[in-house]
Structure 1
Protein backbone atom coordinates (compact mmCIF):
# COMPACT_ATOMS: atom_id res chain seq x y z
CA UNK A 1 0.00 0.00 0.00
CA UNK A 2 2.83 2.37 0.91
CA UNK A 3 4.50 1.54 -2.42
CA UNK A 4 1.35 2.54 -4.36
CA UNK A 5 1.11 5.83 -2.46
CA UNK A 6 4.75 6.58 -3.30
CA UNK A 7 4.07 5.87 -7.00
CA UNK A 8 1.06 8.19 -6.96
CA UNK A 9 3.04 10.99 -5.27
CA UNK A 10 5.87 10.54 -7.79
CA UNK A 11 3.49 10.82 -10.78
CA UNK A 12 1.83 13.92 -9.32
CA UNK A 13 5.26 15.47 -8.72
CA UNK A 14 6.34 14.78 -12.31
CA UNK A 15 3.15 16.29 -13.77
CA UNK A 16 3.45 19.36 -11.54
CA UNK A 17 7.09 19.82 -12.55
CA UNK A 18 6.18 19.50 -16.25
CA UNK A 19 3.41 22.09 -15.98
CA UNK A 20 5.70 24.48 -14.11
CA UNK A 21 8.39 24.04 -16.76
CA UNK A 22 5.95 24.80 -19.59
CA UNK A 23 4.68 27.85 -17.72
CA UNK A 24 8.20 29.09 -17.23
CA UNK A 25 9.07 28.51 -20.87
CA UNK A 26 5.95 30.40 -21.83
CA UNK A 27 7.69 33.59 -20.80
CA UNK A 28 10.66 32.91 -23.08
CA UNK A 29 11.06 32.05 -26.76
CA UNK A 30 14.54 31.12 -27.90
CA UNK A 31 16.03 32.62 -24.78
CA UNK A 32 14.28 35.96 -25.34
CA UNK A 33 11.65 37.50 -23.13
CA UNK A 34 8.08 37.19 -24.40
CA UNK A 35 5.90 40.25 -23.95
CA UNK A 36 2.19 40.06 -23.30
CA UNK A 37 0.40 41.18 -26.47
CA UNK A 38 -2.01 44.01 -25.66
CA UNK A 39 -5.30 44.73 -27.41
CA UNK A 40 -4.66 46.02 -30.93
CA UNK A 41 -6.61 48.11 -33.40
CA UNK A 42 -7.80 46.24 -36.49
CA UNK A 43 -10.04 46.52 -39.51
CA UNK A 44 -12.70 44.04 -40.70
CA UNK A 45 -12.59 43.73 -44.49
CA UNK A 46 -14.11 41.49 -47.18
CA UNK A 47 -11.91 38.53 -48.03
CA UNK A 48 -12.21 39.45 -51.72
CA UNK A 49 -13.40 42.48 -53.70
CA UNK A 50 -13.93 41.60 -57.35
CA UNK A 51 -14.57 44.07 -60.16
CA UNK A 52 -16.57 41.88 -62.54
CA UNK A 53 -16.28 42.72 -66.22
CA UNK A 54 -17.16 41.24 -69.59
CA UNK A 55 -14.95 38.80 -71.50
CA UNK A 56 -15.94 40.49 -74.77
CA UNK A 57 -16.85 44.09 -75.63
CA UNK A 58 -20.48 44.89 -76.41
CA UNK A 59 -23.66 46.66 -75.41
CA UNK A 60 -25.20 45.78 -72.05
CA UNK A 61 -28.54 44.06 -72.60
CA UNK A 62 -29.54 43.61 -68.95
CA UNK A 63 -28.16 43.99 -65.43
CA UNK A 64 -29.69 41.39 -63.11
CA UNK A 65 -28.17 42.53 -59.81
CA UNK A 66 -27.92 45.84 -58.00
CA UNK A 67 -26.22 47.37 -55.00
CA UNK A 68 -26.52 45.38 -51.72
CA UNK A 69 -27.95 42.32 -53.51
CA UNK A 70 -26.68 38.93 -52.34
CA UNK A 71 -25.38 36.81 -55.23
CA UNK A 72 -24.23 33.23 -55.46
CA UNK A 73 -21.16 31.96 -57.28
CA UNK A 74 -22.07 31.19 -60.89
CA UNK A 75 -25.29 33.20 -60.83
CA UNK A 76 -26.02 35.33 -63.93
CA UNK A 77 -25.61 38.99 -62.99
CA UNK A 78 -25.53 40.66 -66.45
CA UNK A 79 -26.10 39.96 -70.13
CA UNK A 80 -24.36 41.45 -73.17
CA UNK A 81 -26.41 41.84 -76.39
CA UNK A 82 -26.05 38.52 -78.23
CA UNK A 83 -28.63 38.20 -81.05
CA UNK A 84 -25.94 37.47 -83.67
CA UNK A 85 -24.26 34.85 -81.49
CA UNK A 86 -27.61 33.17 -80.78
CA UNK A 87 -28.36 32.91 -84.52
CA UNK A 88 -24.87 31.49 -85.16
CA UNK A 89 -25.43 28.93 -82.41
CA UNK A 90 -28.71 27.75 -83.95
CA UNK A 91 -27.06 27.40 -87.35
CA UNK A 92 -24.11 25.46 -85.94
CA UNK A 93 -26.44 23.19 -83.96
CA UNK A 94 -28.47 22.33 -87.05
CA UNK A 95 -25.35 21.69 -89.12
CA UNK A 96 -23.92 19.42 -86.43
CA UNK A 97 -27.12 17.35 -86.45
CA UNK A 98 -27.20 16.70 -90.21
CA UNK A 99 -26.12 13.25 -91.40
CA UNK A 100 -27.67 13.11 -94.90
CA UNK A 101 -24.29 13.48 -96.62
CA UNK A 102 -22.90 10.54 -94.61
CA UNK A 103 -25.82 8.32 -95.59
CA UNK A 104 -25.42 9.29 -99.27
CA UNK A 105 -21.73 8.40 -99.27
CA UNK A 106 -22.43 5.13 -97.44
CA UNK A 107 -24.98 4.10 -100.07
CA UNK A 108 -22.52 4.91 -102.86
CA UNK A 109 -19.78 2.87 -101.18
CA UNK A 110 -22.14 -0.04 -100.58
CA UNK A 111 -23.23 -0.01 -104.25
CA UNK A 112 -19.57 -0.02 -105.33
CA UNK A 113 -18.83 -3.06 -103.17
CA UNK A 114 -21.79 -4.97 -104.60
CA UNK A 115 -20.83 -4.08 -108.16
CA UNK A 116 -17.24 -5.13 -107.49
CA UNK A 117 -18.41 -8.49 -106.13
CA UNK A 118 -20.59 -9.18 -109.19
CA UNK A 119 -17.85 -8.20 -111.62
CA UNK A 120 -15.42 -10.66 -110.03
CA UNK A 121 -17.36 -13.45 -111.74
CA UNK A 122 -17.37 -11.60 -115.06
CA UNK A 123 -13.61 -11.08 -114.79
CA UNK A 124 -13.06 -14.84 -114.39
CA UNK A 125 -15.08 -15.40 -117.57
CA UNK A 126 -13.08 -12.63 -119.29
CA UNK A 127 -16.34 -10.74 -119.87
CA UNK A 128 -14.70 -7.49 -118.64
CA UNK A 129 -11.16 -6.28 -118.81
CA UNK A 130 -8.72 -6.04 -115.94
CA UNK A 131 -8.63 -2.26 -116.46
CA UNK A 132 -12.39 -2.03 -115.94
CA UNK A 133 -12.07 -4.06 -112.74
CA UNK A 134 -9.28 -1.83 -111.43
CA UNK A 135 -11.35 1.24 -112.17
CA UNK A 136 -14.30 -0.22 -110.25
CA UNK A 137 -12.07 -1.01 -107.27
CA UNK A 138 -10.71 2.55 -107.28
CA UNK A 139 -14.21 4.06 -107.41
CA UNK A 140 -15.29 1.85 -104.49
CA UNK A 141 -12.25 2.90 -102.47
CA UNK A 142 -12.94 6.56 -103.24
CA UNK A 143 -16.55 6.12 -102.09
CA UNK A 144 -15.35 4.62 -98.79
CA UNK A 145 -12.94 7.53 -98.26
CA UNK A 146 -15.77 9.96 -98.97
CA UNK A 147 -17.75 8.31 -96.17
CA UNK A 148 -14.88 8.93 -93.79
CA UNK A 149 -14.55 12.49 -95.05
CA UNK A 150 -18.22 13.22 -94.33
CA UNK A 151 -17.87 11.77 -90.82
CA UNK A 152 -14.90 14.07 -90.22
CA UNK A 153 -16.94 17.00 -91.51
CA UNK A 154 -19.71 16.11 -89.07
CA UNK A 155 -17.19 16.02 -86.23
CA UNK A 156 -15.91 19.46 -87.28
CA UNK A 157 -19.50 20.71 -87.33
CA UNK A 158 -19.98 19.45 -83.77
CA UNK A 159 -16.82 21.26 -82.66
CA UNK A 160 -18.05 24.41 -84.40
CA UNK A 161 -21.29 24.09 -82.43
CA UNK A 162 -19.33 23.89 -79.17
CA UNK A 163 -17.33 26.94 -80.21
CA UNK A 164 -20.50 28.91 -81.01
CA UNK A 165 -21.90 27.87 -77.64
CA UNK A 166 -18.78 29.13 -75.87
CA UNK A 167 -18.89 32.42 -77.78
CA UNK A 168 -22.50 32.92 -76.68
CA UNK A 169 -21.59 32.03 -73.09
CA UNK A 170 -19.00 34.82 -73.10
CA UNK A 171 -21.91 37.24 -73.45
CA UNK A 172 -23.24 36.05 -70.10
CA UNK A 173 -21.58 37.58 -67.04
CA UNK A 174 -21.64 35.40 -63.92
CA UNK A 175 -20.59 36.06 -60.34
CA UNK A 176 -17.17 34.53 -59.59
CA UNK A 177 -17.83 34.38 -55.82
CA UNK A 178 -20.55 34.23 -53.20
CA UNK A 179 -21.01 37.72 -51.88
CA UNK A 180 -22.77 41.07 -51.94
CA UNK A 181 -22.86 43.65 -54.73
CA UNK A 182 -21.01 46.78 -53.60
CA UNK A 183 -21.37 48.99 -56.68
CA UNK A 184 -23.02 49.02 -60.09
CA UNK A 185 -21.08 50.77 -62.85
CA UNK A 186 -23.12 50.05 -65.99
CA UNK A 187 -26.76 50.14 -67.08
CA UNK A 188 -28.67 48.55 -69.96
CA UNK A 189 -27.77 50.14 -73.29
CA UNK A 190 -24.28 51.24 -72.27
CA UNK A 191 -21.21 49.98 -74.09
CA UNK A 192 -18.72 47.95 -72.09
CA UNK A 193 -15.17 47.10 -73.12
CA UNK A 194 -12.55 46.72 -70.40
CA UNK A 195 -14.49 48.49 -67.64
CA UNK A 196 -16.12 46.64 -64.73
CA UNK A 197 -19.87 46.14 -64.68
CA UNK A 198 -20.34 45.32 -61.00
CA UNK A 199 -18.20 45.19 -57.88
CA UNK A 200 -18.80 42.20 -55.60
CA UNK A 201 -17.45 41.66 -52.08
CA UNK A 202 -17.01 38.19 -50.60
CA UNK A 203 -18.12 38.37 -46.97
CA UNK A 204 -17.60 34.76 -45.90
CA UNK A 205 -15.06 34.55 -44.52
CA UNK A 206 -14.13 38.09 -43.55
CA UNK A 207 -10.53 39.15 -43.15
CA UNK A 208 -9.36 40.96 -40.04
CA UNK A 209 -6.24 43.00 -40.76
CA UNK A 210 -4.09 44.05 -37.81
CA UNK A 211 -0.77 45.89 -37.60
CA UNK A 212 1.49 44.50 -34.86
CA UNK A 213 4.65 46.10 -33.38
CA UNK A 214 7.83 44.22 -34.28
CA UNK A 215 8.63 43.54 -30.61
CA UNK A 216 5.96 40.82 -30.81
CA UNK A 217 7.58 39.24 -33.87
CA UNK A 218 7.58 35.47 -33.51
CA UNK A 219 4.86 35.30 -30.88
CA UNK A 220 1.92 35.21 -33.30
CA UNK A 221 1.59 31.95 -35.18
CA UNK A 222 -0.76 30.63 -37.82
CA UNK A 223 -3.73 28.93 -36.17
CA UNK A 224 -3.82 31.19 -33.10
CA UNK A 225 -7.20 32.58 -32.18
CA UNK A 226 -8.20 36.08 -31.19
CA UNK A 227 -11.31 37.81 -29.93
CA UNK A 228 -12.50 40.53 -32.31
CA UNK A 229 -14.86 43.25 -31.13
CA UNK A 230 -16.28 45.76 -33.57
CA UNK A 231 -16.34 49.41 -32.56
CA UNK A 232 -19.94 49.70 -33.77
CA UNK A 233 -22.40 50.34 -30.92
CA UNK A 234 -23.97 47.15 -29.58
CA UNK A 235 -21.76 44.87 -31.68
CA UNK A 236 -20.92 41.40 -30.42
CA UNK A 237 -17.48 39.84 -30.10
CA UNK A 238 -16.30 37.13 -32.46
CA UNK A 239 -13.45 34.63 -32.61
CA UNK A 240 -11.10 34.78 -35.60
CA UNK A 241 -8.14 32.59 -36.55
CA UNK A 242 -4.71 33.70 -37.77
CA UNK A 243 -4.12 32.63 -41.39
CA UNK A 244 -1.28 34.93 -42.49
CA UNK A 245 1.69 36.43 -40.71
CA UNK A 246 3.97 38.76 -42.66
CA UNK A 247 7.56 37.59 -42.84
CA UNK A 248 8.85 41.06 -43.71
CA UNK A 249 8.35 43.98 -41.33
CA UNK A 250 8.07 47.66 -42.19
CA UNK A 251 11.29 49.29 -40.95
CA UNK A 252 9.87 52.83 -41.07
CA UNK A 253 6.96 52.13 -38.73
CA UNK A 254 8.44 49.17 -36.85
CA UNK A 255 5.38 47.04 -37.51
CA UNK A 256 4.28 43.99 -39.49
CA UNK A 257 0.92 42.72 -40.68
CA UNK A 258 -1.22 39.81 -39.51
CA UNK A 259 -4.38 38.56 -41.18
CA UNK A 260 -7.13 36.58 -39.47
CA UNK A 261 -10.13 34.78 -40.96
CA UNK A 262 -13.53 35.43 -39.40
CA UNK A 263 -16.35 33.03 -40.43
CA UNK A 264 -19.49 34.90 -41.50
CA UNK A 265 -21.88 32.39 -43.10
CA UNK A 266 -25.04 34.42 -42.46
CA UNK A 267 -23.43 37.80 -43.30
CA UNK A 268 -24.36 39.06 -39.84
CA UNK A 269 -20.95 40.73 -39.37
CA UNK A 270 -20.62 43.85 -41.53
CA UNK A 271 -17.34 44.60 -43.29
CA UNK A 272 -15.50 47.90 -43.44
CA UNK A 273 -15.51 48.53 -39.69
CA UNK A 274 -12.74 49.23 -37.23
CA UNK A 275 -12.30 46.78 -34.38
CA UNK A 276 -10.31 45.82 -31.30
CA UNK A 277 -8.44 42.53 -31.25
CA UNK A 278 -7.15 40.52 -28.30
CA UNK A 279 -5.24 37.27 -28.77
CA UNK A 280 -6.57 34.40 -26.69
CA UNK A 281 -4.22 32.66 -24.19
CA UNK A 282 -3.77 29.52 -26.22
CA UNK A 283 -0.84 28.17 -24.20
CA UNK A 284 -2.71 28.45 -20.92
CA UNK A 285 -5.37 26.16 -22.32
CA UNK A 286 -2.67 23.75 -23.47
CA UNK A 287 -1.13 23.63 -19.98
CA UNK A 288 -4.49 22.89 -18.36
CA UNK A 289 -5.08 20.12 -20.89
CA UNK A 290 -1.65 18.57 -20.24
CA UNK A 291 -2.14 18.70 -16.47
CA UNK A 292 -5.58 17.13 -16.74
CA UNK A 293 -4.31 14.33 -18.99
CA UNK A 294 -1.36 13.67 -16.68
CA UNK A 295 -3.60 13.43 -13.59
CA UNK A 296 -5.97 11.10 -15.41
CA UNK A 297 -3.06 8.89 -16.45
CA UNK A 298 -1.84 8.75 -12.83
CA UNK A 299 -5.25 7.68 -11.57
CA UNK A 300 -5.61 5.01 -14.26
CA UNK A 301 -2.14 3.69 -13.50
CA UNK A 302 -2.95 3.28 -9.81
CA UNK A 303 -6.24 1.56 -10.61
CA UNK A 304 -4.43 -0.89 -12.90
CA UNK A 305 -1.83 -1.62 -10.21
CA UNK A 306 -4.56 -2.05 -7.64
Structure 2
Protein backbone atom coordinates (compact mmCIF):
# COMPACT_ATOMS: atom_id res chain seq x y z
CA UNK A 1 0.00 0.00 0.00
CA UNK A 2 1.33 3.40 -0.92
CA UNK A 3 2.29 5.89 1.83
CA UNK A 4 -0.31 8.37 0.58
CA UNK A 5 -3.05 5.75 0.85
CA UNK A 6 -1.85 4.88 4.39
CA UNK A 7 -2.05 8.53 5.48
CA UNK A 8 -5.61 8.71 4.20
CA UNK A 9 -6.53 5.87 6.56
CA UNK A 10 -4.99 7.57 9.67
CA UNK A 11 -6.99 10.02 11.84
CA UNK A 12 -6.15 13.70 11.48
CA UNK A 13 -4.98 13.93 15.12
CA UNK A 14 -2.47 11.13 14.61
CA UNK A 15 -1.06 12.85 11.53
CA UNK A 16 -0.66 16.12 13.43
CA UNK A 17 1.09 14.37 16.33
CA UNK A 18 3.49 12.62 13.93
CA UNK A 19 4.33 15.92 12.23
CA UNK A 20 5.00 17.73 15.55
CA UNK A 21 8.77 17.89 16.36
CA UNK A 22 9.94 16.16 19.53
CA UNK A 23 10.67 18.44 22.46
CA UNK A 24 13.13 16.70 24.80
CA UNK A 25 14.12 20.03 26.43
CA UNK A 26 10.57 20.67 27.59
CA UNK A 27 9.98 17.06 28.64
CA UNK A 28 13.23 16.46 30.51
CA UNK A 29 13.90 20.04 31.58
CA UNK A 30 16.21 22.74 30.33
CA UNK A 31 19.97 22.76 30.72
CA UNK A 32 21.19 24.93 33.58
CA UNK A 33 24.27 25.59 35.68
CA UNK A 34 24.52 25.75 39.49
CA UNK A 35 26.93 28.47 40.61
CA UNK A 36 27.86 30.21 43.85
CA UNK A 37 25.61 33.12 44.66
CA UNK A 38 28.67 35.39 44.64
CA UNK A 39 32.44 35.16 44.50
CA UNK A 40 34.70 37.71 46.16
CA UNK A 41 38.38 38.35 46.76
CA UNK A 42 39.63 39.18 50.26
CA UNK A 43 42.15 42.02 49.99
CA UNK A 44 43.98 44.16 52.51
CA UNK A 45 42.51 47.64 53.10
CA UNK A 46 46.05 48.99 53.47
CA UNK A 47 49.65 48.00 52.82
CA UNK A 48 50.48 45.76 55.76
CA UNK A 49 52.38 42.65 56.75
CA UNK A 50 50.29 39.48 57.01
CA UNK A 51 50.51 38.19 60.57
CA UNK A 52 48.21 35.14 60.48
CA UNK A 53 45.88 33.39 58.04
CA UNK A 54 43.33 31.39 60.02
CA UNK A 55 41.74 29.41 57.17
CA UNK A 56 42.83 27.10 54.39
CA UNK A 57 41.52 26.34 50.94
CA UNK A 58 38.23 24.49 51.31
CA UNK A 59 37.49 25.86 54.78
CA UNK A 60 33.81 26.47 55.53
CA UNK A 61 33.35 29.81 57.29
CA UNK A 62 30.44 31.74 58.72
CA UNK A 63 29.69 35.42 58.31
CA UNK A 64 31.82 37.43 60.73
CA UNK A 65 34.53 34.78 61.18
CA UNK A 66 38.07 36.19 61.26
CA UNK A 67 40.02 35.03 58.20
CA UNK A 68 43.24 37.05 58.22
CA UNK A 69 45.14 39.05 60.85
CA UNK A 70 47.37 41.86 59.61
CA UNK A 71 50.23 43.30 61.65
CA UNK A 72 48.98 46.21 63.76
CA UNK A 73 51.78 46.72 66.28
CA UNK A 74 52.34 50.37 65.32
CA UNK A 75 48.64 51.17 65.57
CA UNK A 76 48.35 49.40 68.94
CA UNK A 77 51.15 51.54 70.41
CA UNK A 78 49.57 54.70 69.01
CA UNK A 79 46.18 53.63 70.40
CA UNK A 80 47.68 53.08 73.84
CA UNK A 81 49.15 56.59 73.82
CA UNK A 82 45.91 58.17 72.63
CA UNK A 83 43.88 56.37 75.27
CA UNK A 84 46.29 57.49 77.97
CA UNK A 85 45.99 61.12 76.87
CA UNK A 86 42.22 60.83 76.70
CA UNK A 87 42.00 59.34 80.19
CA UNK A 88 44.58 61.60 81.81
CA UNK A 89 43.30 64.62 83.76
CA UNK A 90 46.70 66.02 84.73
CA UNK A 91 46.86 68.67 81.99
CA UNK A 92 43.24 69.59 82.61
CA UNK A 93 43.77 69.96 86.37
CA UNK A 94 46.85 72.16 85.86
CA UNK A 95 45.01 74.41 83.40
CA UNK A 96 41.99 74.63 85.70
CA UNK A 97 44.21 75.56 88.68
CA UNK A 98 45.93 78.30 86.67
CA UNK A 99 42.58 79.68 85.57
CA UNK A 100 41.28 79.69 89.15
CA UNK A 101 44.42 81.42 90.40
CA UNK A 102 44.29 84.03 87.62
CA UNK A 103 40.60 84.66 88.30
CA UNK A 104 41.23 85.20 92.02
CA UNK A 105 44.23 87.38 91.29
CA UNK A 106 42.21 89.54 88.93
CA UNK A 107 39.43 89.88 91.55
CA UNK A 108 41.92 91.12 94.19
CA UNK A 109 43.54 93.51 91.72
CA UNK A 110 40.12 94.83 90.79
CA UNK A 111 39.37 95.57 94.47
CA UNK A 112 42.74 97.26 94.92
CA UNK A 113 42.21 99.35 91.82
CA UNK A 114 38.86 100.58 93.13
CA UNK A 115 40.64 101.71 96.30
CA UNK A 116 43.38 103.34 94.20
CA UNK A 117 46.11 101.14 95.70
CA UNK A 118 47.34 99.96 92.27
CA UNK A 119 47.39 101.41 88.84
CA UNK A 120 45.02 100.58 86.02
CA UNK A 121 47.89 98.95 84.17
CA UNK A 122 48.40 96.40 86.97
CA UNK A 123 44.70 95.56 86.88
CA UNK A 124 44.79 95.16 83.07
CA UNK A 125 47.81 92.87 83.28
CA UNK A 126 46.02 90.55 85.71
CA UNK A 127 42.99 90.57 83.43
CA UNK A 128 45.18 89.56 80.47
CA UNK A 129 46.68 86.73 82.56
CA UNK A 130 43.15 85.54 83.33
CA UNK A 131 42.23 85.45 79.65
CA UNK A 132 45.38 83.48 78.82
CA UNK A 133 44.66 81.00 81.62
CA UNK A 134 41.08 80.53 80.44
CA UNK A 135 42.31 79.95 76.87
CA UNK A 136 44.79 77.35 78.16
CA UNK A 137 41.96 75.62 80.02
CA UNK A 138 39.84 75.51 76.87
CA UNK A 139 42.86 74.17 74.96
CA UNK A 140 43.35 71.41 77.55
CA UNK A 141 39.67 70.41 77.21
CA UNK A 142 40.01 70.32 73.41
CA UNK A 143 43.22 68.28 73.58
CA UNK A 144 41.55 65.67 75.75
CA UNK A 145 38.54 65.51 73.44
CA UNK A 146 40.80 65.18 70.37
CA UNK A 147 42.76 62.43 72.08
CA UNK A 148 39.51 60.53 72.55
CA UNK A 149 38.65 60.99 68.86
CA UNK A 150 42.13 59.79 67.87
CA UNK A 151 41.76 56.74 70.13
CA UNK A 152 38.47 55.82 68.46
CA UNK A 153 40.03 56.28 65.00
CA UNK A 154 42.99 54.05 65.85
CA UNK A 155 40.64 51.46 67.32
CA UNK A 156 38.73 51.42 64.02
CA UNK A 157 42.02 51.05 62.13
CA UNK A 158 42.99 48.11 64.33
CA UNK A 159 39.65 46.44 63.65
CA UNK A 160 40.43 46.67 59.94
CA UNK A 161 43.58 44.64 60.60
CA UNK A 162 41.28 41.65 61.22
CA UNK A 163 39.73 40.68 57.89
CA UNK A 164 36.38 38.95 58.44
CA UNK A 165 34.12 36.88 56.22
CA UNK A 166 31.30 39.04 54.80
CA UNK A 167 29.05 36.00 54.35
CA UNK A 168 28.92 32.28 55.04
CA UNK A 169 30.63 30.21 52.39
CA UNK A 170 33.75 28.35 51.29
CA UNK A 171 37.34 29.54 50.93
CA UNK A 172 38.12 28.62 47.33
CA UNK A 173 41.76 29.72 47.17
CA UNK A 174 44.61 30.99 49.33
CA UNK A 175 47.05 33.16 47.41
CA UNK A 176 49.29 34.64 50.12
CA UNK A 177 50.97 33.46 53.31
CA UNK A 178 51.99 34.89 56.71
CA UNK A 179 55.06 37.06 56.46
CA UNK A 180 54.17 38.41 53.01
CA UNK A 181 53.32 42.05 52.43
CA UNK A 182 49.70 42.58 51.41
CA UNK A 183 49.05 45.56 49.18
CA UNK A 184 45.82 47.46 48.69
CA UNK A 185 44.19 48.26 45.36
CA UNK A 186 42.48 46.33 42.59
CA UNK A 187 45.77 45.52 40.87
CA UNK A 188 47.21 43.84 43.95
CA UNK A 189 47.11 40.12 44.59
CA UNK A 190 44.24 39.06 46.86
CA UNK A 191 44.93 37.11 50.04
CA UNK A 192 41.95 34.75 49.78
CA UNK A 193 39.05 33.99 47.48
CA UNK A 194 35.60 33.09 48.77
CA UNK A 195 32.35 31.76 47.33
CA UNK A 196 28.89 31.99 48.86
CA UNK A 197 27.23 28.57 48.72
CA UNK A 198 23.95 29.32 50.49
CA UNK A 199 21.90 30.18 48.62
CA UNK A 200 23.19 28.97 45.27
CA UNK A 201 22.48 30.64 41.95
CA UNK A 202 21.06 28.70 39.00
CA UNK A 203 21.46 30.16 35.52
CA UNK A 204 19.38 28.92 32.58
CA UNK A 205 18.87 30.11 29.00
CA UNK A 206 15.36 29.63 27.62
CA UNK A 207 13.85 29.99 24.15
CA UNK A 208 12.02 33.21 23.46
CA UNK A 209 8.82 31.20 22.91
CA UNK A 210 8.58 30.89 26.73
CA UNK A 211 8.63 34.64 27.22
CA UNK A 212 5.68 35.64 29.38
CA UNK A 213 5.27 32.15 30.83
CA UNK A 214 8.31 32.35 33.11
CA UNK A 215 7.81 34.89 35.89
CA UNK A 216 9.73 35.83 39.02
CA UNK A 217 8.47 34.08 42.14
CA UNK A 218 7.54 30.82 40.44
CA UNK A 219 8.99 27.55 41.67
CA UNK A 220 11.17 25.19 39.67
CA UNK A 221 12.70 21.76 40.20
CA UNK A 222 16.48 21.39 39.92
CA UNK A 223 18.09 18.02 39.12
CA UNK A 224 21.93 18.03 39.16
CA UNK A 225 23.82 15.90 36.65
CA UNK A 226 25.14 12.46 37.59
CA UNK A 227 26.66 11.16 39.79
CA UNK A 228 24.72 13.56 42.04
CA UNK A 229 21.28 12.36 42.97
CA UNK A 230 18.24 14.16 44.26
CA UNK A 231 15.92 16.97 43.30
CA UNK A 232 15.67 20.38 44.92
CA UNK A 233 13.21 23.19 44.60
CA UNK A 234 14.38 26.65 43.56
CA UNK A 235 12.62 29.96 43.03
CA UNK A 236 12.85 32.26 40.03
CA UNK A 237 14.45 35.56 41.04
CA UNK A 238 15.39 37.31 37.79
CA UNK A 239 13.92 37.13 34.29
CA UNK A 240 15.94 39.06 31.73
CA UNK A 241 14.03 41.83 29.97
CA UNK A 242 16.53 42.02 27.10
CA UNK A 243 16.48 39.15 24.60
CA UNK A 244 19.42 37.70 22.65
CA UNK A 245 18.28 38.23 19.07
CA UNK A 246 21.04 36.03 17.60
CA UNK A 247 19.96 32.89 19.46
CA UNK A 248 16.33 33.83 20.14
CA UNK A 249 16.69 33.26 23.86
CA UNK A 250 16.65 35.01 27.22
CA UNK A 251 18.26 34.32 30.57
CA UNK A 252 16.66 33.37 33.89
CA UNK A 253 18.26 33.28 37.32
CA UNK A 254 16.94 31.10 40.14
CA UNK A 255 17.81 30.94 43.83
CA UNK A 256 18.49 27.50 45.27
CA UNK A 257 18.62 27.17 49.09
CA UNK A 258 21.60 25.15 50.31
CA UNK A 259 21.64 25.45 54.12
CA UNK A 260 23.49 22.17 54.72
CA UNK A 261 25.96 22.58 51.87
CA UNK A 262 24.95 19.27 50.30
CA UNK A 263 24.68 20.74 46.81
CA UNK A 264 28.06 21.52 45.25
CA UNK A 265 28.49 24.60 43.08
CA UNK A 266 29.80 24.54 39.54
CA UNK A 267 27.79 21.52 38.31
CA UNK A 268 25.42 21.27 35.40
CA UNK A 269 21.77 20.52 35.96
CA UNK A 270 18.29 20.31 34.50
CA UNK A 271 15.51 22.67 35.49
CA UNK A 272 11.83 21.93 35.15
CA UNK A 273 9.35 24.72 35.83
CA UNK A 274 6.49 23.68 38.06
- When normalised by structure 1's length, the TM-score is 0.76
- Does residue 188 of structure 1 match 2:182? no
After the TM superposition, which residues 252-263 of structure 1 pair with which residues of structure 2 at under 5 Å, given as runs?
A: 252-263=246-257
Deviation for aligned residue 1:234 = 5.1
Structure 2 counterpart of 1:42, from 32, 56, 61: 32
1:246 matched residue in structure 2: 240
Work out whether residues 232 and 273 of structure 1, in 8 Å CA contact, stay in contact via their aligned partners in 2: no
Cα RMSD, aligned residues only: 1.7
Cα distance in 1, alignment partners of residues 57 and 226 from structure 2: 22
- Does residue 164 of structure 1 match 2:154? yes
Cα distance in 2, alignment partners of residues 66 and 207 from structure 1: 24
Larger helix proportion of the pair: 1
3-state SS of paired residue (1:235): coil
Structure 2 counterpart of 1:124, from 114, 130, 135: 114
Cα distance in 2, alignment partners of residues 249 and 220 from structure 1: 14
Deviation for aligned residue 1:187 = 1.4
- When normalised by structure 2's length, the TM-score is 0.84
2:229 matched residue in structure 1: 235
Cα distance in 2, alignment partners of residues 120 and 228 from structure 1: 92
3-state SS of paired residue (2:133): helix
Deviation for aligned residue 1:106 = 0.4
1:212 matched residue in structure 2: 206
Residues 183-207 of structure 1, C-alpha deviations (whole Å, 9 max, x = no match)? 1111112222221111111111111
Deviation for aligned residue 1:147 = 0.5
- Does residue 147 of structure 1 match 2:117? no
Cα distance in 1, alignment partners of residues 94 and 129 from structure 2: 15
Deviation for aligned residue 1:40 = 0.5
Work out whether residues 109 and 122 of structure 2, in 8 Å CA contact, stay in contact via their aligned partners in 1: no
Deviation for aligned residue 1:61 = 1.4
Deviation for aligned residue 1:231 = 1.4
Structure 1 counterpart of 2:75, from 76, 85, 103: 85
1:33 matched residue in structure 2: none
Deviation for aligned residue 1:177 = 1.4
After the TM superposition, which residues 26-37 of structure 1 pair with which residues of structure 2 at under 5 Å, given as runs?
A: none
Work out whether residues 33 and 268 of structure 2, in 8 Å CA contact, stay in contact via their aligned partners in 1: yes
1:302 matched residue in structure 2: none
3-state SS of paired residue (2:63): coil
Task: Spell out structure 1 runs of 4+ moving beyond 3 A.
Answer: none
Cα distance in 2, alignment partners of residues 116 and 53 from structure 1: 61
Structure 2 counterpart of 1:106, from 87, 96, 99: 96
2:61 matched residue in structure 1: 71
Cα distance in 2, alignment partners of residues 92 and 73 from structure 1: 31
Work out whether residues 37 and 279 of structure 1, in 8 Å CA contact, stay in contact via their aligned partners in 2: no
Count of aligned residue pairs for this structure pair: 245
3-state SS of paired residue (2:177): coil
Structure 1 counterpart of 2:168, from 178, 200, 205: 178
Work out whether residues 212 and 255 of structure 1, in 8 Å CA contact, stay in contact via their aligned partners in 2: yes
Cα distance in 1, alignment partners of residues 247 and 202 from structure 2: 20
